[in-house]
A and B are shown apart, each in its own frame.
Chain A
Amino acid sequence: MPMTITEKILARHANLERVSPGDLIEVKVDMALANDITAPLAIKVFKEIEARKVFDPYKIALIPDHFVPNKDIDSAEQAKVMREFSAQHQIVHYYEVGQSGIEHVILPEKGLVIPGDLVIGADSHTCTYGALGAFSSGVGSTDLGVIMATGKTWLRVPPTIKLDYEGNLLPWVEGKDLILHTLGMVGVDGANYRSLEFSGTVIRGLSMDQRLTMANMAVEAGAKNGIIVPDEITMAYVAQRSSRSPFVCTSDPGADYEKVIRIEVDKIEPQIAFPHSPANVRPLSQVGNIAIDQVFIGSCTNGRLDDLREAVTILKARTVARGTRLIVIPGSQLVHREAIGEGIIQTLIEAGAVIGPPCCGPCLGGHLGVLAEGEKALSTTNRNFIGRMGHPKSEVYLANPAIAAASAVLGRIGGPEEL
């Protein structure tokens, strides 16, 4: 019986010949992940179930990224809980501020996820690693606390929706625009409980950073996972970072898809998601005149090196408009260092950007750029729910890094072609 890539990875981890959508299975977890917000609750659960040791100190990643460097005393206490637990259980992949960054940026970059892996994280954007041909999905803290003890969890095998992207991309259209456009088509629950398989010649042409952006936002359609079949780009990316041998598989011809959607990309413009839903998208040409108080470039969606490179192609020899603030946060210590090496940070600072330390920053309204009442922000992040970046009466618009950079220069939402 033919299977999809998601079904094959799940079957392998359940020690079964095959699985079908709807099957309830128990799977072994290759990597369990939590951050400074979700880990303290997971650690509480770990203690409450009277677990004495973790299932494998090499297969747990605990990453301080949401409210670090500690934004207040309570956040400091949460980070401390995770730090002390990591020391006590000799968690190998605990990365302190200074070696760290955003969880979904550093796990791929450190080679901690490779094709065929099964990753479960107490963070909804754990689906990011599907870009590497892994099955990865978000859960809550209780599930994760139990996984830290047992290395196992239960899952229902999801039906798969295949998205075939064909055609040629217009200038300034990136992975971010493809996923925003897709969200506009299927809606915020269009893939609830389902797997999204991104395929087609357009996907094959995207860099790993752009693929990570797309898989990252699969959860914005409610998906359990987003996945891309590994190819030469995947293998080259992984070979530089991991010495483990990957389980490389592909979806069989004749695999059972719930739906196959063909998306012609030729006419897709850069996309802007309007408040207060990532699926509330409009093409750039239909945005109108929207003045912006703040632009944020960063996050697990668009805080990688490709994203910063894209931004500086626009910002070189230009300056941020008076009345607009530009905040840039490299997604990891490594991204930051490489951005310095390439002169990117210099260019950003000369343009009038302020650079923050690698972390989630204002994406979820935590710190380093929280919005006041009535303020409007254009952001390269993944969610623009009510109050997401600050005051409940502030507004967030989502876009790709090139549009964000151009908008910072214009002081309103606009594209590079207007400069």
Chain B
Amino acid sequence: MKLQGKVWKFGDNVDTDLIIPARFLNVWDKDELARNCFADLRPDFIHTIRPGDVIVAGENFGCGSSREHAPLAIKSAGISGIIAKSFARIFYRNAFNVGLPILECKEASASVEEGNRVSINLATGEIVNLDTGEEFLARPIPDFMRDIVEAGGLVEYVKKKGLAEQAI
């Protein structure tokens, strides 16, 4: 599975209140969530980006509330994946569960700049900055988690495996 897109850069400790403020949590429709993604930090984010674009962030991305609405809003806005120095624990689980691939790579996070185009190979963890030619290797995603992403999220994965015999 390969991703390719333009980079939008974010800093450290981007919390889920910034990703989708609680005042928009009275709905759980994914398109509505996408419209309000980063409402306070980058208003109109959904119209700024193109489908397939990538977020590159610093440490502890997605900290705070457990709201799965956060990765869902990002994915539904059209972002194909996130590279960060590190992710908060619950966000990490949630992102895979909704089928949004995310990768930890300190070097790429430090080097890649906003507006660069990158490609990501999820199977190998290879990240290439297509503007500069620089290559990076992310911490690989465990196999069963890549299976979840490739299935399209935990729901599809569970359906594929059959509820009765799931070993998740």
Contact = CB atoms under 8 A, between A and B. Distances in A.
B146 to A, nearest CB: 14
B94 interface: yes
B23 A385 contact: no
Interface string B143-168: 00000000001110011000100111
A364 B22 contact: yes
B90 A385 contact: no
A366 B166 contact: no
B67 A38 contact: yes
Contacts of A143: 93-94, 97, 154
Interface string A50-92: 1100000000000000110001101100100000000000000
Interface stretch (B44-52, B58-66, B105-113, B131-139): B58-66
Contacts of B158: 49, 146
Contacts of A222: 60, 63, 88-89
Contact of B26 (A74, A121, A146): A74
Interface residues of B, number: 42
B59 to A, nearest CB: 6
Interface stretch (A148-156, A282-290, A329-337): A148-156
B125 interface: no
Interface of A: 24, 26, 37-38, 40-41, 44-45, 48-51, 66-67, 71-72, 74-75, 78, 121-124, 126, 138-143, 145-146, 149-150, 152-154, 188-189, 192-193, 219, 222, 224, 277, 364-366, 370, 383, 385-388, 392
B90 A139 contact: yes
Contact of A188 (B60, B93, B163): B60
Contact of B13 (A145, A189, A392): A189
Interface string B1-28: 0000000000001010110011101111
Contact of A67 (B26, B60, B159): B26
27 contacts: A37-B25, A37-B69, A49-B155, A49-B158, A49-B159, A49-B163, A51-B163, A72-B26, A78-B26, A124-B90, A138-B66, A140-B90, A140-B97, A142-B68, A143-B154, A146-B158, A146-B168, A150-B163, A189-B60, A189-B88, A222-B63, A365-B22, A365-B23, A383-B64, A385-B64, A386-B40, A387-B40
Nearest to A222: B88
Minimum-distance CB pairs A-B, first 7: A140-B68, A140-B94, A74-B26, A142-B97, A189-B60, A392-B40, A364-B22
A38 B21 contact: no
A145 B168 CA distance: 13
Contacts of B71: 140
B64 to A, nearest CB: 6
B154 A189 contact: no
A386 B97 contact: no
A141 B68 contact: yes
Looking at chain B's contact residues, is the secondary structure mostly helix, strand, loop, or mixed?
loop
Contacts of A364: 17, 22, 65
Contact of A142 (B15, B154, B159): B154
Interface in B65-90: 65-69, 71-72, 86, 88-90
A150 B13 contact: no
A192 B89 contact: yes
A305 to B, nearest CB: 26
Contact of B59 (A48, A139, A189): A189
Given A26-B167, A141-B68, A192 B88 contact: yes
Contact of B66 (A122, A365, A388): A122
Given A38-B66, A386-B40, A146 B88 contact: no
A189 B60 CA distance: 6
Central interface residue in A140, A193, A222, A277, by most chain B CB within 10 Å: A140
Contacts of B15: 383, 385-386
A385 B60 contact: no
Contacts of A37: 22, 25, 67, 69
B98 interface: yes
Given A78-B26, A142-B153, A192 B60 contact: yes
Nearest to B27: A74
B17 A386 contact: yes
Contacts of B88: 189, 192, 222
Contacts of B66: 38, 121-124, 126, 138-140
Contacts of A370: 23
Contacts of B86: 189, 192
A75 B26 contact: yes
